[in-house]
Structure 1
Amino acid sequence: MDKVDFLFINVSIGTLPLKASSKIPPLGVLSIASFLEDSGYRSRVVDTARPFFSISWLKDYLASTTPRYIGFTLYTDYLHSIKRLISIIRNVSPASILVCGGPHASICDKSTLSELDVEIVVRGNGEVPSLELLSGKRLSEIAGISYLIKGSYQRNPDSPSHSLDTFPSPDLSLIEPDSAFEYLPAIAPERGCTFRCSFCAAGTLSPKVLFRSMNLLEKDILKLLPMCESKILVLVGDTFTVNPSRVLEFCNMIKKIGGGKKFIWYAEGNVNSIRENPEILSAMYDSGLRFLQFALESGVPSVLKAYNKEVDLDYAIDLVRECARLGIFIHINFIVGGPFESDETISRTKAYARKLIAAGNGYLNMLFPYLTPLPGTDIFDNPEKYGLKILDRDLLSSFAFNNAVVESAALSRGEIIWHRFNIMLDLLGETFAMMKLPDPLRNERCVQASLLAGNFHPAVVADNYIDWNDYFVSGWKGVFAKLPEYHQFLDSAKEPFEQLIPIRTSAVVVNLDGNIDFPHVADDLSPIQSRVLDLSAGKLTAEEIASRLGESFSAVKDALIALEKIGAIIYGSF
């Protein structure tokens, strides 16, 4: 096998069949790899979400390709998985230079260098710094990187912005092949975010929005057209609707090449932007938009103010009603456990959500993630300003916003979990009973609706193994017991039990006795089973959980065995 100059590893938590994969290609590292390949360097992407991936496969691949550089995109949720992979890579490919980019690395560059044992952190967009690394430029001369010299922390000035037109279309052929896995067609029309939400670091990391020119976007889409038949084209980005003239230009372009006839598409929208420019909604629909996502976050104006988020809540109801009339499927996020959360704020948000359900008339889906304070956000840095106390700053009990890690002045962590569980019971049943999915979404079962909301675990499992109704009504009980792939993994796993990584298969709730519990699987868990389940977020090994809890490993092992028998957990290996 040919040698590789720069290998990018897109890390997904877990193992087959439970992967934190959205089926959207890893556009960030793929853009860098495509740019490097276009510049004459051999670059490849390994996506650990693909079914062929295993640690043994990676070891063989590294031995045969001996990459000069190996890069990772680091999100806070993936910190532990990447750290374990790095320890493996150091043994197999010791000459490779390890590089981290992504949100967590960009914000926490100093701690990333020391804790993950990597040589270089690339802050912000990675195309140009990666090329300069390969070209042999001195580290001190490369803008936008941080690194260590004899243990001394060095941080170069930020990299200047580069036009997105500088970079070629992402080349999917650079992802290591596997015929059993198909990505959804996806493009990134822009990068950056103009908003400054107190719970999100996107505006801090990339405050200037960069746009790719329309003629190149057209080429990007035409390249993906064979993948778009009977599928949904995904537009990746937070700020698509903030530039109305560009939206109209995009709609004209995509309609010309088949939008609405050959394929449909998805985008994220901003309620106030559409209120100020209502003509863009009909233009988007006419050109094939059939799935639109809004992040409302709360139905309470004072909470929205704390989030530094401007949303016209009354207009949002009218907008949902109009989307339903047109046949545009809407997904809306509400955060649970946010600033100054109380019984009253949750009750008001539920009442508001019910108005949206009525307005949506079957074209509405909602997700209720927990507030998850992330590095680089004001809530993480100053939780007391928001009436919050962060209980799990390292997010060891949470993955993809699926567990409460804070408490408010009015609500304990357990009360926040209980409230969310009741929201799900009260509202989602009403929502799903009315749901009218566009055919491409129904054909893909629940994958698009879940994955686009960031609910990664359900997306892959429901897409591959259970239908929409069964997934949401029955939960995950018994699903994994029927999967030969999972048992094959356990049979072939070379890791001792201590090193296996338990992963919850559903959200936790709090039962009436105050213990963490697991709906759809068991009515009662013992105290140690509850505590073990709480830390089974795909981040800690069984041995590490025992250490964290101060319990004997044998007691934790017994709890894990009992939890697996009732379908509450499965195991991963990194």
Structure 2
Amino acid sequence: MDFIPEALNKKPEVLLIYTQRMIRGRTFEMIENLGILTLAAQLNANGFEAKAYTGITTDAVKTIKNMKDRLFAVCFYCDFDNQSAVAAIISYLKKHYHFYVVLGGPQTLHMTEKDLGSFQADGILKGEGEETLLTWLNAKIRGEAVLVPGEIQPAQNADYIYLEDFSKYALPRNEDVLDYHERPLLSVITARGCPYRCAFCFEGGNSKNLRMRTAKDVLDEIEARLKRSQRPRYLFFCDDTFTTNPVRLRKILSGVKRLREKYDFVWFCEGHPGFLVKHLEFIREMIDSGMVRMQIGMESGVDDVLKAYGKQASPEDIKKVVEICYAAGLPQLTGNYIIGGAFETAETLATTTRKALELLDLAPGMLDLSTTFIMPLPGTQIYNQPEKFGIVLEDRECLTNLEDFPVNHTKELSLPEVCMGRSRFITAVSNKMKEQYEHGLITKERIQADFKLAFNYGIAAGYLKFIYGKNNLMVEYYKKLIDYQGLLKEWHELSEQEKNTWVIQRIPDFSLFDINTLSQLEIDILAGAGSDTIGETAEKLSLSAEKIGVLLKGLSDRYFVLFSPFI
């Protein structure tokens, strides 16, 4: 292959790409792809100039075009969601450019010799690529023909490569992201593989045994990356096996708690409800060490469906975890429900909806519920034997799907009925959330915690996105309260003495609200805000302490006023 001389007279440049055919703002862009970030670190530690890029397909192609004259190789991360997009991009690149193109990622587990023609890449490397990608690229630089473990060759398939000791590889660095600009999110993975065998899960259906990093290695990586941070961070433990080993978990929690004494960060993880219900004491320890958001698998409100999935947790287990998390003060707990999954009927949908609403009743302001359709991921039981779960796959390879439309239905529900089931579920959940807010069931402390997490760490939960954030007065109110923490108080926080001596502060500009919605006394109070104490205002307006208290509470509840100890 002919390269311009400049490409080989310096460190060979490699671009590692994770792309999907989706609109901007989807989750895949928000969470760093640690696969390509880890590979970039390994290449950079061994003589390459590697960058990682995540973005939608059109932006990925533009990025490659801008770098084309400098690139030695482009490496694509391929999963079930993006395989057709990656194949199309590679076909275009091979027609127009002369750098090497390499394919890797979890989808390669199920690739064979025929995929050499389908994807047209110069190399398809199966498995975890810290060693194999480096070997492959170095062989191309030297012009040598090397048989790389895991590489698919004509007339020769390859085994998927699994690694055991991750400590010998370079740690991922956010600075290896192309055009890196620091954001709150900081992703970390603590293990590979999965001990569970959920019927719908790619990792559980395909992975080798769980391979866990030591607590020390995990904590060393977190500290190294926090040292290079310039702002508060939201630490995101990506693996869904974080809570699997109690001994290691406790070591990580202890270490994270110590790190929070030096660095400003909070964190998220996935927790297995089957584990947590047996170790409820961990929930309090996790919160005490800085956990502000956790995800647990909910999947369905029907016990028989969870058993069919192999979930190893019941609806009662999930309910118990929700209750404990709420009582312990966890700001946010998120869970996902599969709509149109195993043995779905109108009755199971109704049961799941009822169970979800009951959970919301148990924890007003905490739960962030989402939905998904079944994705028949290769190697899973649902992909291999859908009939065993009462599922009919209309599009096994998901070529018609961008995660927004089902590719399957069940024996009793058609595709349109599955879609309508999801719509009704979302509407019921949304209405319940609004009802909780309108009836004052969500505490001020929870609302303020959500705003604090959003303003300081970039974490926007469902209640904030769909309810609080749509109220401009509310946003302005909590921004001021959090910006001037300690200098401003809400009405319910004031002592009896402070309810006379503290100064009324009007928060929103008059342009943000309709003055006709206020009484004349409320307008008079707002007009004098910022110059008078509560007692002085009451005297000027000839109001009793009780009357002005009622008026100020009303203004406070509607996010018009806060209170300060001085003008």
Fold-level match, TM-score > 0.5?
Answer: yes
Partner of 2:224: 223
One of 253, 256, 260 as aligned partner of 1:254: 256
Q: CA RMSD in A?
A: 2.9
Partner of 1:487: none
2:286 counterpart letter in structure 1: M
- Is 2:67 aligned against 1:61? yes
2:186 counterpart letter in structure 1: P
- Is 2:149 aligned against 1:143? yes
Partner of 2:163: 161
Cα distance in 2 for residues equivalent to 1:228 and 1:350: 43
Q: In structure 2, the residue corresponding to 1:369 is in which secondary structure?
A: strand
1:165 counterpart letter in structure 2: S
- Is 2:43 aligned against 1:36? yes
Partner of 2:134: 131
Change in Cα spacing, 1:47 to 1:34, as seen in structure 2 (3 Å) is: same
**Cα distance, 1:92 vs structure 2:** 3.7
Is the Cα–Cα contact under 8 Å of residues 373 and 406 in structure 2 kept in the other structure? yes
Per chain length, whose mean CA-contact separation is higher, i.e. which structure has more relative contact order (CA < 8 Å, sep 6+)? 1
Could you report, residue by residue, the CA deviation over 1:225-247 in whole angstroms, capped at 9, with x for unpaired residues?
A: 26484442111101000101111
Query: In the comparison of the two structures, how many residue pairs are matched?
Result: 448
> What does residue range 15-414 of structure 1 map to in structure 2 within 5 Å?
17=24, 21-48=28-55, 53=59, 55-63=61-69, 65-67=70-72, 69-94=73-98, 96-136=99-139, 141-148=147-154, 152=155, 154-179=156-181, 182=183, 184-225=185-226, 227=229, 229-258=231-260, 262-328=264-330, 329-399=332-402, 401-414=403-416
Could you report, residue by residue, the CA deviation over 1:181-231 in whole angstroms, capped at 9, with x for unpaired residues?
A: 736111111111111111112023323222222233222212332648444
Could you report, residue by residue, the CA deviation over 1:231-267 in whole angstroms, capped at 9, with x for unpaired residues?
A: 4211110100010111100010010111798221000
TM-score (norm 2): 0.73
Cα distance in 2 for residues equivalent to 1:170 and 1:115: 31
**Cα distance, 1:278 vs structure 2:** 2.2
**Cα distance, 1:143 vs structure 2:** 2.2
2:374 counterpart letter in structure 1: L
**Cα distance, 1:298 vs structure 2:** 0.9
* Structure 1: segments with no counterpart, 5+ residues: 451-461, 474-574
**Cα distance, 1:467 vs structure 2:** 5.0
Cα distance in 2 for residues equivalent to 1:205 and 1:249: 29
Structure 1 stretch displaced more, 85-94 or 190-199: 85-94
Could you report, residue by residue, the CA deviation over 1:385-423 in whole angstroms, capped at 9, with x for unpaired residues?
A: 211111122323322x32111111111111111111001
Cα distance in 1 for residues equivalent to 2:204 and 2:54: 27
Structure number with bigger Rg:
2
Change in Cα spacing, 1:170 to 1:369, as seen in structure 2 (3 Å) is: same
**Cα distance, 1:19 vs structure 2:** 5.3
Change in Cα spacing, 1:227 to 1:205, as seen in structure 2 (3 Å) is: farther
What is the percent sequence identity of the aligned residues?
24
1:42 counterpart letter in structure 2: E
Cα distance in 1 for residues equivalent to 2:301 and 2:22: 34
Structure 1 stretch displaced more, 278-287 or 207-216: 207-216
**Cα distance, 1:47 vs structure 2:** 2.6
Change in Cα spacing, 1:469 to 1:109, as seen in structure 2 (3 Å) is: farther
Cα distance in 2 for residues equivalent to 1:160 and 1:431: 44
2:153 counterpart letter in structure 1: Y
**Cα distance, 1:3 vs structure 2:** 5.3
Cα distance in 1 for residues equivalent to 2:393 and 2:50: 40
* Structure 2: segments with no counterpart, 5+ residues: 1-6, 472-567
Partner of 1:479: none
